[in-house]
A and B are shown apart, each in its own frame.
Chain A
Amino acid sequence: MPSICFYFEVHQPMRLNKFSVFNIGNNNTESTYFDSQLNKEIFIKVAKKCYLPTNNLLLNLINKYDGKFRISFSLTGTFVEFCEQFIPEVIDSFKDLFKTGAVDMIEETYYHSLSSLYDDMDEFQDQVKMHGQMIKRLFNYKPRVFRNTEAIYDNRIAKKVEEMGYKGIITEGTEKILQWRSANYLYKPINANLKVLLRNYTLSDDVGFRFSARMWPGHPLTADKYANWMAKSEGDLINLFMDYETFGEHHWTETGIFEFLEHFPGEALKHDHLDFVTVREAIERYETVGEIDVPWAISWADADRDVSTWLGNDMQIACFNELKNIGKKIKESGDRNLLNTWRRLQTSDHLYYVCTKGMEDGDVHKYFSPYDGPYDGFINYMNIIQDFKHRLY
């Protein structure tokens, strides 16, 4: 009997201020790197459209179905900082959800960074620990399942995550690693003792991307139709992983996304052989059925399902390397402010805005970007990195 595993990524980046070459070397404080006004505006807007109403709806659904409806979250550190700064009630509502016992929390890097791709894994480990401390502080809980930034995954990362004591890891159910096999089972990394949860990208994207697409043959997607698709699925586990902002932000209220969510648990539970699990329950209940070998990093981003979204052109690679290479110097300086700024600059979104991939992926990038295109994104980010280096040397 397949279990439905709903998991939501909750993240907001610290967007950057407009920073020109003329600002390099003549700034007083790192706080001018981050556009607090814009960040506040976006956070409050998304909190009202998505976080608060969706948390409220999910809490009602969990109560209504007596804990049979179960979900998982991962909250990034930058997101939590915004909550605490602008609307602490958002954090309270996540705490309320967690207290029901039907909600699990997932570990990741505090800064939603690409530190897992650095030459050595110290910085990655530090950022995961920071996230662990935050979850401990907020929920008094230690997550068992890890999800790296945008599900970036390879053998090296799996090994490290195992060493750090996690029992499960999330990534994309792409054919690149599965070939003919189904994403609806747990797998074991070829080199680590972990259980890998694989995103069922078709069913996930039916909601995440296609819900309001009128051209899509599945439109309009109703709760009973979606539940029927689940009921007909083979396997142990249907992993539906998506951005939390799917609800109310990527798809507005008017599309019917909230009615869909409201009715889905009831429709799913009408099928006797379906139930809901959190990510932790999934790895406790099910066994792995095979091995996966991932020598090159995959992710759930774009059509390529690799790291080209962040490291696909020379501009992105230049920013990534420049920032990475000053890490040692920053740590030696022992300056906590510098360290914090360096880490905030590592948030993967800054590189995402510099992606030049065209066509449909490009449209998605445009939707999320605060810049007029990837080149402006690069200039601004690179100018800030140069100023930051200037401060260091």
Chain B
Amino acid sequence: MRVAMIGWEYPPFKAGGLATHCYGLTRSLADKGVQIDFYMPKTKHATGSDKKNLNIIEVGETEIFPYDRPDNKELAGQFFEAVYRYNDLVVSRVKGKYDAIHCHDWLTMKAGIALKYKTNTPLVLTVHSTEYDRSGWIYPNQWFIDIEKEGMEKADRIIAVSHFTKRVIVEKYGINPNKISVVHNAVYPIPEGHKQDIVLFLGRLTIQKGAEFFLRAAQKVKDYEPDTRFVVAGIGDMLPRLITQALDLGISDQVIFTGRLTEDEVKHIYGISSVYVMPSVSEPFGITALEAISAGTPTIASKTAGFSEAFNNCLRVDFWDTDEMANKIISLIRYKPLHQTLSKQGKQEIELFTWDRVADKTIDVYNEVI
């Protein structure tokens, strides 16, 4: 089986779960004998593969990321043009006979559709997030929605990362549920470190990820557990606002903003944190929660987060309910048996979430279209 996969990011370069997913998926597919050509933009970092049947093919440069918005100042109004230019480039570079073309999210959907018709090859589309998620359901941008809708309609099969996302695809994009398979993500476990009194937020600082709610909860925890530190790891357009918010809330002494972290730093901070909080406004899956849990860090996640449909050993809150979020943070700090049980049982349950399983289910989907 030969598959042309069109992605956008791949470790060591990554801005989100999409890269993690592509990395885990392509490597496990390769191990199962699938021939994968992974097309992606050229990056400053060296990317490569040590597997014979997995080729990473870089096709020119672009400044756009899957999480960019059209108002990105660095693109100076060139956003849409840059997207179209890159998709055209991909179409011209994909050569050879494939059994399937596999795209991820909106960014390469135009190229996927064009290739489907140009080479008469079935198209599989994985939806990691939709415009509704990324906008936090506030003023979603119609341009993205139109691209996503076209891609979903033209795709022969769709893989959704959760039932939550499948519902969005059916209800907001009007897609036939019978052509959507749900495949939950997986994780490469991260080693547990020496735990400190750290409560961690890690993710893009965008409206979608809800860091502001994390800070509000932190303020409520502060008076009860004064020794606790709150770490906000990541970058994004909300960063200046969040720093101001921390000052306004009077918790700037308790909160550390790390900026962008390297992969090793990310692993380290997961390992030494005592609590991970994922207060996303909208979270199709939430691989970071699995990463934290794999490092023995009990996790408090939004009730709607996709991973928690399939995961028992975590705590759930409404993202806006910062009283309850604080209640749970304090409980995890105070009640050792709660912390230990969640940590232990969470790590056990994580063992079910392997890329091997994701690859098996993805191959099932390929077999339906070939």
Residue pair B331, A315 in contact (C-beta under 8 Å): no
Smallest CB-CB separation from B316: which chain A residue? A372
Instruction: Check B327 for interface membership: any CB of A closer than 8 A.
Output: yes
Contact, CB under 8 Å: B330 / A21: yes
Bound: A20/B324 CA distance, A: 8
B338:A378 contact, CB within 8 angstroms: yes
Residues facing B in A336-391 (CB within 8 A) are 356, 358, 362, 372-373, 375-376, 378-379, 382-383
B143 interface hit (Cβ, 8 Å)? no
B340 within 8 A of partner (CB): yes
Q: Which B residues, 265 to 287, have Cβ-Cβ distances below 8 Å to chain A?
A: none
Evaluate contact between A22 and B327: CB separation under 8 angstroms: yes
Interface residues of A in 13-48 (CB under 8 A from B): 20-22
Residue pair B316, A315 in contact (C-beta under 8 Å): no
Q: Shortest CB–CB separation between residue B230 and chain A, in angstroms? A: 17
Residues on the B chain within 8 Å of A22, using CB: 220, 224, 323, 326-327
Q: A317 to chain B: which residues have CB within 8 Å?
A: 337
B328 interface contact, C-beta 8 A: yes
A315 to B338, CA, bound (A): 6
Does A314 make an interface contact (CB < 8 A)? Answer: yes
Separation of A379 and B334 alpha carbons in the complex (Å): 10
Nearest-neighbour CB distance to chain A for B268, whole angstroms, equals: 26
Q: Verify if B335 is at the interface (C-beta below 8 Å from A).
A: yes
Of A362, A372, A382, the contact of B331 (CB 8 Å cutoff): A382
B91 within 8 A of A: no
Asked whether, in the complex, the Cβ of B340 is within 8 Å of the Cβ of A21, the reply is: no
Q: Is A313 positioned at the interface, with any CB of B under 8 Å from its CB?
A: yes
A318 touches B (CB below 8 Å): yes
In the complex, are the beta carbons of B345 and A378 less than 8 A apart?
A: no
Q: Nearest-CB distance from B218 to chain A (Å)?
A: 15
B323 touching A378, Cβ below 8 Å: no
Whether B316 lies near A314 (C-beta < 8 A) is: no
CA distance A383 to B330 in the complex (A): 11
CB-CB under 8 A for A358 and B337, given A21-B327, A375-B342: no
State how many angstroms separate the Cβ of A29 from the closest Cβ of chain B. Answer: 21
Contact A379 B341 (CB under 8 A): no
Chain B neighbourhood of A314, CB < 8 A: 336-337, 340-341
Q: Write the chain B residue with the least CB distance to A20.
A: B327
**For A21, what are the chain B residues with a Cβ–Cβ distance below 8 Å?**
224, 326-327, 330-331, 334
Contacts of A318 in B (CB 8 A): 335, 337
- Number of A residues with CB within 8 Å of any CB on chain B: 19
Query: Are A379's CB and B331's CB within 8 A?
Result: yes
Residues of A within 8 A of B336 (CB): 314
Q: Do B337 and A315 touch (CB < 8 A)?
A: yes
State whether B335 touches A379 (Cβ < 8 A).
Answer: yes
Q: Please indicate the chain A residues that have their CB under 8 angstroms from the CB of B345 in the complex.
A: 356
Interface membership of B312, Cβ < 8 A: yes
CA distance A228 to B316 in the complex (A): 49
Residues 326-359 (chain B) with a chain A CB within 8 angstroms: 326-328, 330-331, 334-338, 340-342, 345
Mask: chain B, 271-313; 1 = CB below 8 Å from A; 0 = not = 0000000000000000000000000000000000000000011
Contact B335 A382 (CB under 8 A): yes
Q: Is the CB–CB distance between B315 and A20 below 8 Å?
A: no
Q: Which residue of A356, A358, A362, A379 contacts B328 across the interface (Cβ within 8 Å)?
A: A379
Residues of chain B within 8 A (CB-CB) of A378 are 335, 337-338
Q: How far is the CB of A36 from chain B (nearest CB, A)?
A: 22
A382 neighbours in B (Cβ, 8 Å): 331, 335, 338
Complex Cα gap A20–B335 (Å): 13
Closest residue of chain A to B335 (Cβ to Cβ) is A382
Residues of the B chain whose Cβ atoms lie less than 8 Å from the Cβ of A315:
335, 337-338, 341
CB distance from A357 to the nearest CB of B (A): 10
Contacts of B330 in A (CB 8 A): 21
A214 CB → nearest B CB, Å: 24
- Docked pose: A66 CA to B93 CA in angstroms: 90
Contact B324 A375 (CB under 8 A): no
In the bound assembly, the distance between CA atoms of A20 and B316 in angstroms comes to: 15
Give the distance in Å from the alpha carbon of A20 to the alpha carbon of B331 in the complex.
Answer: 9
Q: How far is the CA of A281 from the CA of B123 in the complex (A)?
A: 74
Known: A21-B224, A356-B345. A375 touches B327 (CB 8 A): no
**Which residue in B323, B328, B335, B341 is a CB contact (below 8 Å) of A313?**
B341
Query: Is B341 a contact of A356 with CB atoms below 8 Å?
Result: yes
| A residues less than 8 Å from B334 (CB atoms) | 21
What separation, in Å, do the CA atoms of A358 and B311 have in the docked complex? Answer: 12
B305 to chain A, nearest CB (A): 13
Point out the residues of chain B lying under 8 angstroms from A379, CB to CB: 327-328, 331, 335, 338
Instruction: Report chain A residues within 8 Å CB of B312.
Output: 358, 362, 373
Q: What are 6 A-B interface contacts by the 8 Å CB criterion?
A: A21-B326, A21-B330, A356-B313, A375-B338, A379-B328, A379-B338
Leading 10 A-B pairs by shortest Cβ distance: A314-B337, A20-B327, A318-B337, A379-B331, A315-B337, A21-B330, A21-B327, A313-B341, A315-B341, A314-B341
Further 18 A-B residue pairs, CB within 8 A, beyond A314-B340, A382-B338 = A21-B224, A21-B331, A22-B220, A22-B224, A22-B323, A22-B326, A314-B336, A315-B335, A315-B341, A317-B337, A318-B335, A318-B337, A356-B345, A376-B316, A378-B337, A378-B338, A379-B338, A382-B331
Residues of A within 8 A of B (CB): 20-22, 313-315, 317-318, 356, 358, 362, 372-373, 375-376, 378-379, 382-383
